A and B are shown apart, each in its own frame.
Chain A
């Protein structure tokens, strides 16, 4: 069901500090918006978001099917599957300790 660990978002205080990731670590910036910056690290995306929480995105073939399957097994979802403005469809869930994961697929 889970194909890839696709993306990790974690919090920073100020996106101007994202220069650290580009200029010091030498990561390739793949996108920057007023409240988000994204870098590629060998095929896994690293997202920085002021005030964000750690979120791990797991790529699946079909978010709705994976949602149904996991929900039947008792997994707690924060929202139902939802289309996002950036083109993905997502459904976030939490593990038994409250760590946040998000199922994602991209429309073909």
Chain B
């Protein structure tokens, strides 16, 4: 069987917490992790390039970075992998598809392509800080990015 070599690294994992504010204090102030973002139902921390996401009522999700979610989806689907969601653009900027391993563990293949300039980013942080924040309402910034 031909191996799928699309998976580049683990950019992100999401774990379940009960209370975002309480958890932000623990991860930021006690463990000393750098917070990348916080929303009412999600918070992200950086651990030397791997992002740790906290979400109430979430299931554990391990994200696998690929350049092209759709290609990897087709490749894995051809091999019989069970997907629970098809490739989909997410409101936070990435594109994802979720599959289960044989024991029901959840994995998310994801890519972080900037929809303004087309750059394929290597992390959500790069997409958020280098593209989403800069492009937002700034045509000149978009031009700088080649569009």
Q: Name A's B-contacting residues (CB within 8 A).
A: 1-5, 8, 10-13, 17, 20-21, 23-27, 41-44, 46, 54, 56, 58, 70, 73-75, 95-97, 99
Contact = CB atoms under 8 A, between A and B. Distances in A.
B30 A73 contact: yes
Given A24-B4, A95-B17, A99-B16, 14 more contacts: A2-B48, A4-B50, A5-B10, A5-B50, A11-B103, A12-B105, A13-B102, A17-B102, A24-B1, A26-B3, A42-B10, A42-B65, A96-B22, A99-B17
B30 A8 contact: no
Contacts of B84: none
A43 B9 contact: yes
B52 interface: yes
Interface of B: 1, 3-10, 13, 15-19, 22-23, 26-27, 30-33, 47-50, 52, 60, 62, 64-65, 76, 79-81, 101-103, 105
Given A2-B33, A44-B10, A95-B26, A12 B102 contact: yes
Contacts of B101: 12, 17, 20-21
A96 B49 CA distance: 24
B10 A25 contact: no
Given A11-B103, A12-B103, A25-B4, A56 B30 contact: no
B9 A23 contact: no
A3 B48 contact: yes
A82 to B, nearest CB: 20
A4 B7 contact: no
A96 B23 contact: yes
14 contacts: A4-B47, A4-B48, A13-B102, A17-B102, A24-B79, A24-B80, A25-B4, A26-B6, A41-B9, A46-B10, A56-B52, A58-B47, A74-B30, A96-B23
A3 B47 CA distance: 7
B30 A70 contact: yes
Interface centre among B22, B33, B62, B102, by most chain A C-beta atoms within 10 angstroms, is B102
A43 B7 CA distance: 12
A25 B7 contact: yes
